[in-house]
Amino acid sequence: MDRRSFLKNSALGGTAAATAALAAPAIAQGNRTLTLVTSVPDGFAIFDDAAEYLKNAVNTMSGGSLTIDKKPAGSLVGAFEVFDAVSSGQADMYHSAEYYFGGQHPGYYFFTAVPFGGTAQELINWYQHAGGQELHDELGQIFGMKTFLAGNTGAQPGGWFRKEIESAADLQGLKFRMPGLGGRALGNTGASVQNVPGGEIYQALASGAIDGAEWIGPLADERLGLQEVCEFYYTGGFHEPGSALSAAINLDVWESLSPAHQSIIENAAMATHHWSLAQSLEGNGAALQRLQASGTKVMSFPDDVWDAFRVGSQQAMDEFAGDELYDRIRASFETSRDSSAAWIAASDGVFTAQRDG
């Protein structure tokens, strides 16, 4: 689908016209400022840290000739409205997680994480060297955006629960916050899945609106205070084995940038991805120790719960089969993941087993 035809035939087309003045990047004495909207409040560990790193990297690398003005969730648009804002031209860029926008096209799920999908390393291998970036571009063309991966949380825990999960029967009717295809998979097990923005998770748990939630990992979860409202923390999760964050730019804005500024954004996004993953993996171990010391009960799901997750995940992944672009993205992703996994198991896997055995 041509992106301009899509916008013309959607409600976004009217929004684009109404916000044209906001959309034009500020230009003064040869300098440009791009408005970046995000899906979390300022200060959120890992997620906002990545957006802040991206902003600072672009500003510094450009010598001030290209400046990013970051707007946290709710200051210009809502947490889940950033996609429409950038597609329509209300904002120049967003930093978010693509699986929030699976309703726009299910192919977007693969550019954050899918259940029983790829680790952070397997995901970036596919993205940078096996066609993932090109498929992301193909999706972006539909909605008028150019997008890059720009952050990664690593493997995300199974989440926080008010009560212990002793069997798959305990999932029935459980009100749980989980977005993306993982959330659809959890719904297939009988849980009542909620898609609560990150900035609202604590209050939803504290008020009893939900029975549990997953967020990012020990470092980010601790800063959010989830240990104050839930006792049980399941550190092994099925839903997001290596979750990427992304930076998307309105395509007209992207095409108006100089090649030098385009290269700065692309390389700043790549640097953000690797910096963010290292931050998460380095910080999670110490944070988990602090959580345990403060009384958090670190748990593992029983085998029958993992079986339920696997069945629900297969159903969720197959739900969109038949969509031509979704099928191509899935096939490309799974082929690359399996190839990477085989080599990592034969090399790193053998080494770490000997080192740690």
DSSP string, 132-187: HHHHHHHHHHHHTEEEEEEEE--SPP-EEESS---SGGGGTT-EEE--HHHHHHHH
Q: What is the pLDDT of residue 30?
A: 64
pLDDT tens figures, 195-227: 999 999 999 999 999 999 999 999 999 999 999
pTM for the whole structure: 0.90
Digit-coded pLDDT (tens) for 13-31: 333 333 333 444 455 446 9
For residue 185, being part of any structural domain is answered with: no
| In a domain? residue 310 | no
Task: Indicate the helix (H) or strand (E) that contains 233.
Answer: strand 232-234
Instruction: Say how far apart CA 168 and CA 340 lie, in whole Å.
Output: 32
Q: Report yes or no on 238 lying in a domain.
A: no
**Total number of domains constituting the chain:** 1
The per-residue pLDDT for range 44-84, each reduced to its tens digit, is 999 999 999 999 999 999 999 999 999 999 999 999 999 99
With respect to residue 208, please indicate whether it lies within any of the assigned structural domains: no
How would DSSP label each residue in 296-350? -EEE---HHHHHHHHHHHHHHHHTTTT-HHHHHHHHHHHHHHHHHHHHHIIIIIH
Judge whether 190 lies within some domain.
Answer: no
pLDDT block averages, 10 residues each, the chain of length 357: 39 36 48 97 96 98 98 97 98 98 98 98 98 98 98 97 97 97 98 95 97 97 97 98 98 98 98 98 97 98 98 98 98 98 97 95
The CATH number covering residue 13 comes to 3.40.190.170
**Amino acid sitting at position 201:** I
Q: Give the residue numbers spanning the domain of 30.
A: 3-152+243-281
Q: Is residue 288 part of a domain?
A: no
